[in-house]
Structure 1
Amino acid sequence: MTIAQRLLRLVLRVTGAALLLAAPFVFVPRTWHAAIHERLGFGPYPDGPVIDYLVRSVSAMYVLSGLFCWLVTTDLRRYGPTIIFLGAASVAFGILMTAVDALLGLPWWWLAGEGPPAVVLGVILILLERAANRPATDGPAAPE
């Protein structure tokens, strides 16, 4: 395994592990969500089933994304095009979330911690995948 392949696997697995940390929030009591919401300075937690649904379904989507990151590490060559897609989607997601966060007036630390890291992650995934799956060469091509 090349250094690029090892780095790509590491980045995907660390990302996957971080995303899997959302798993408990699919199931924790609503009071935990409310306490976190208030501790972050967002005021009283909104009431209603749609809010609870969104928090739990977004957490579940993070978990699904984390599992997907781990899946593609099982065969980097086979899933190369999928990893490129993941990288491009991460860049697009990061740009979109930066705009959404800014439009919603979220604090600077929220904005800086969500969109820009997703863009950087996407670029890293694309660059590492290209390096990891570059065809091996035995040296300079022989003259014809």
Structure 2
Amino acid sequence: MTDLVETIDAHGHEHVRAEHASTFEVTSDDWLTPAGDCILAIEATTTPAEFDPAFKRACRCHEATITATIVVEDEDHVYEETIVGSGHPDLTFAGDRSAVARTSTYVDDRTVMVEADAAAADLDRDLVAALADGADCTLRLAVDA
């Protein structure tokens, strides 16, 4: 099967810290408190509930590999990180506010990937600083099942 792709556009916020050790998140909320240490970007243009049904089906396979590419662009630089994880039969993609990738196998309505090989705390600190300055962010999720 060829890759199926979903793209979420968002932007950073002054409270982005990206210090969470087991998740990263992009939210459609237009605010962020300092407690949101897994959130990378706000005002996401798309949520898991809006993903294409074919993408969702492909991600519900244990053998699915999901690749998250995070691209952050500020005035001077383009930063890019790639995180690879797995699909899971229990993924619902029902979340209508945020998309969360997890290093664990925990699944809830917001989960878009499990067994990720990195989390917010693992991201390049220059990328995080750009997000804290409000840089644009694109999260591209590709599934190969």
TM-score (norm 1): 0.24
Higher relative contact order (CA 8 A, sep 6+): 2
Which has the larger share of helix? 1
TM-score (norm 2): 0.24
